[in-house]
Amino acid sequence: MRDQMYGELDLGSLTIFSGSFINYGYWGDLAADRDITLAERTASQAELYRRVVSRLPTPPGVELLELGSGIGVGTALVAREFAAYVSGLDRSAAQLARAAEANADDLERLSGRLSFHEGSVTEIPFKDDSFDGVYSVEALQHVDDLAAVAREARRVLRPGGRFAAATFFAPDDTDTPVADLIETVASGVDVVRPVGAFAADLEAAGFKDVAAEPIGEHVWRQFDRWVAQTEYRDSWGRNWLRCYENGWIDYYVLTAA
C-alpha cells in the first residue's frame, strides 16, 4: 500500500497537499475571516522544511542528506536557501521520476549541489561519514524499523554531525483509538509510535543531546482548516485534529547530535 500511495495513487496530487510537497505544514497566523489560499498551503509546507533544517548547523557548502525526499521540491529549497549540497533519498522510483521532472531547472542550475537517490532509509546507500547533517520531513511515519534509521543516520554522519526529523508520534505509550480513527494507521501505511521510543533508538545508536519538541500548535488546527476547504472535508482525515485535541498524537521535531 505504501508503494501504491507514492506510485499510481500519486499522493502529492491530492488537494490536501500542494506545490508537490507532501506534508501537513508548519503554519503561521491565518486570517480567520476568509479561506486559506493555495499559496498559503504551499508556504506552510515549505516552512516545515525551513523549521527542520534550521535545527542543523548549515555553513555554506554543508553536505546534507534528506530521508524520504518525495517529489524533492523541499530538497531543492534546502539546496537553494541554505547554500547546501543536498542528497535526497527515497525508496519510490515513481517519486524519484517526479522529482527529476519537478526540479529539472534546479538540478541543472545548482551545478551538483542537488541530487536524488533511490534507496531505503533503513539501508542508506552512502558510505560512512558522508554528511554533516541528516534530516527528514514527514517520512519516518512510514518506516517499521526506526532503530535501523537511527543506526544508519549515525553511520553516514561525520563526527560532529547532527540529525533533525519531523513527523507525527504519540506523546506516550498509552492505548488510544488512533487506529480506529485514522485509516492509514489501521492499514499500517502510517505507524504512530511513542516519541520516546524513537528518542531511545537515537540514543542507542550513539546520538547525544536527543530532544523532541512538540510543534502541534503550528500544524493540526490549521491543517484541518485546509482539509475542511477540500473535497476531503467529510473524510476520516478530519480525525487527525480529534486525535491531537485528545492528546493521542502530536507533531514533533526530533534533534540529536
Binding footprint of ligand SAM on the chain (CB under 6 A): 6, 21-23, 68-70, 74, 89-92, 95, 120-122, 137-139, 142-143
Nearest distance from C-beta of residue 206 to ligand SAM, angstroms: 21
Nearest distance from C-beta of residue 232 to ligand SAM, angstroms: 16
Nearest distance from C-beta of residue 216 to ligand SAM, angstroms: 17
Minimum CB distance to ligand SAM smaller for 7 or for 177:
7
Nearest distance from C-beta of residue 240 to ligand SAM, angstroms: 14
Minimum CB distance to ligand SAM smaller for 33 or for 184:
184
Name the closest residue to ligand SAM (Cβ): 70
> What is the DSSP code (8-state) at residue 64?
E
Minimum CB distance to ligand SAM smaller for 235 or for 246:
235
d(Cα 80, Cα 83) in Å, to the nearest integer?
Answer: 5
Minimum CB distance to ligand SAM smaller for 78 or for 212:
78
d(Cα 197, Cα 248) in Å, to the nearest integer?
Answer: 15
Helices within 23-177 (DSSP H only): 38-53, 73-81, 93-102, 104-109, 146-156
Query: How far, CA to CA in Å, does 181 sit from each of 159, 178, 187, 221, 248?
Result: 42, 5, 11, 17, 11
Instruction: Identify the CA nearest to 88 among candidates 107, 61, 105.
Output: 107
